Amino acid sequence: MKAEIFQDVANLPTIMVIFGATGDLTNRKLIPALYNLDRQGLLPDTFQIIAFARKNLTTKEFCEYSKSQISKYKVAQIEDVTWKRFTRRINYLHGDFKEDQAYTHLAKELNKIDSDLGVCTHKIFYLAISPDLYERVFQGIGHTRLNQICQNLKDTRVVIEKPFGRNLDSFLKLNAQVSSVFAEEQIYRIDHFLGKETVQNILYFKAGNPVFMSDWSESRIDTIDIVMHETLGVEDRAAYYDSYGQLRDMIQSHMLQLAALILAEIPESMDASTISKNKEEVLNSIYIENIKRDVHRAQYSEGVVEGKLVNAYAEEKGVKTNSITETYVRIKAKVKGGKWHGLKINLETGKRMPEKKTEIRLHYKSAEPTKGLVGKNCLIFRLQPSEGISLEMQVKKPNNAKLETVTMNFDYDRSFREILPDAYEKILLDVIRMSKNLFPSAAELEASWKFTDMIVDEWRNDNIEIAKYPAGTLVIN
């Protein structure tokens, strides 16, 4: 019975409309991911893509452009026969999203496909456009009743990309715009980081390992460290990043989501709305005792990363020379209430760090010493670069009456032959199959914005010069 249901969900006739089809996101992420899904036979039999943007192109020209971008960025291995089959799913449509006729044109196209197919297809509106255009696009969709459904509300879905605002106020405004046209269950907010197999595994690990889960609470675990270090600098994202910073870019989204996934109760049914409610509760329980004392920020100066001399942040192309945007943040937070009351959570993230590393370390409380021997364990979820799980434990050192820490490792690439799927492939498949576990709700985002807004408000009021660290080090001065 379950297999039948899955089969049905996997094969829903669907049209995906990509607003912003000539842009960077579409051609570096979305089209390669959809192509790879098609190559693996994972798209529904009836799956059409309407590539929608401003440039006046034919479908053939769009497909050629898209193929050239995929080759340029080496984001997928194109096999000519498969590509040809895939492009039969694509129709390019041009129009200015600021004008009403773009939406009437789109509505006509959608109706034509539906009547040719003889079915009312599921519709997915993917907004791969600047957030400045969202309001106008929601209005256009609303006025032309493109948000109408076939049978169930979820037949029509909308996908929006991070950033979801830049603070609580702008998030609420954005949310009011999208909610004026779509119900919460139709809205998929993409945080592509959550599509990584290793992030997904947190849910499954919790379901499948009673040895760790019995007493998964503050009574056993003392501190959780979440670390996200990148060796990259700001790259070509300065225009966006310089007004955003590491706190909003990494902590508000990815890192608080990781904390929520680790701490939230996972229901037996894995029901998305219950998971989301539990994550929201956790996010509302994380707080900082004293922001001045417990939050540190810094910006990279010139230094050496992976053997190469690199620029200071303030000298990067597109960054203001007097910028005080933080590229590194360290936060000591705590949890109040519930079974995690008193838990310490340390969040640390930075660009131009000595090594690339994303991991979650759960430090178990030390046991009472036995003859001076102190027991301690640490469970580590390694998200990148070498995905897996490690358990640090104490063993007797040979020829010695001491304990020594050793590590038991599970590595994805040793245990499984499958290549880990790209995050966008996983995420797009979940949107197509209406699985919402990976998508943060409005209430979760509201809680995370409240957390980071408190810090931003404090920073606004302090006039201290931003601390610096030489790129490639963690030496903050």
**For binding to ligand NAP (CB under 6 A), which residues are involved?**
20-25, 28, 53-55, 96-98, 128-131, 133, 161-162
Active site residue 143: no
Annotated binding site for substrate: 192, 196, 230, 249, 351, 356
Could you tell me the smallest distance in angstroms from the CB atom of residue 28 to ligand NAP?
6
Nearer to ligand NAP among residue 38 and residue 161 (C-beta): 161
Nearer to ligand NAP among residue 89 and residue 162 (C-beta): 162
Nearer to ligand NAP among residue 23 and residue 142 (C-beta): 23
Could you tell me the smallest distance in angstroms from the CB atom of residue 349 to ligand NAP?
17
Could you tell me the smallest distance in angstroms from the CB atom of residue 25 to ligand NAP?
3
As a three-state string, the secondary structure of the chain is: CHHHHHHHHHCCCEEEEEECCCCHHHHHHHHHHHHHHHHCCCCCCCEEEEEEECCCCCHHHHHHHHHHHHHHHCCCCCCHHHHHHHHCCEEEEECCCCCHHHHHHHHHHHHHHHHHHCCCCEEEEEECCCHHHHHHHHHHHHHCCCCCCCCCHHHEEEEEECCCCCCHHHHHHHHHHHHCCCCHHHEEEECHHHHCHHHHHHHHHHHHCHHHHCCCCCCCEEEEEEEEECCCCCCCCHHHHCCCHHHHHHHHHHHHHHHHHHHCCCCCCCCHHHHHHHHHHHHHHEECCCHHHHEEEEEEECEEECCEEECCHHHCCCCCCCCCCCCEEEEEEEECCHHHCCCEEEEEEECCCCCCEEEEEEEECCCCCECCECCCCEEEEEEECCCEEEEEEEEECCCCCCEEEEEEEEEHHHHCCCCCCCHHHHHHHHHHCCCCCCCCCHHHHHHHHHHHHHHHHHHHHCCCCCEEEECCCCCCC
Annotated binding site: 54, 96-97, 162, 192, 196, 230, 249, 351, 356
Nearer to ligand NAP among residue 69 and residue 223 (C-beta): 69
Could you tell me the smallest distance in angstroms from the CB atom of residue 445 to ligand NAP?
15
Nearer to ligand NAP among residue 130 and residue 409 (C-beta): 130
Could you tell me the smallest distance in angstroms from the CB atom of residue 20 to ligand NAP?
3
The residue from 122, 229, 254, 363 that is catalytic is: 254
Nearer to ligand NAP among residue 54 and residue 105 (C-beta): 54
Could you tell me the smallest distance in angstroms from the CB atom of residue 448 to ligand NAP?
17
As annotated, the active-site residues are 254
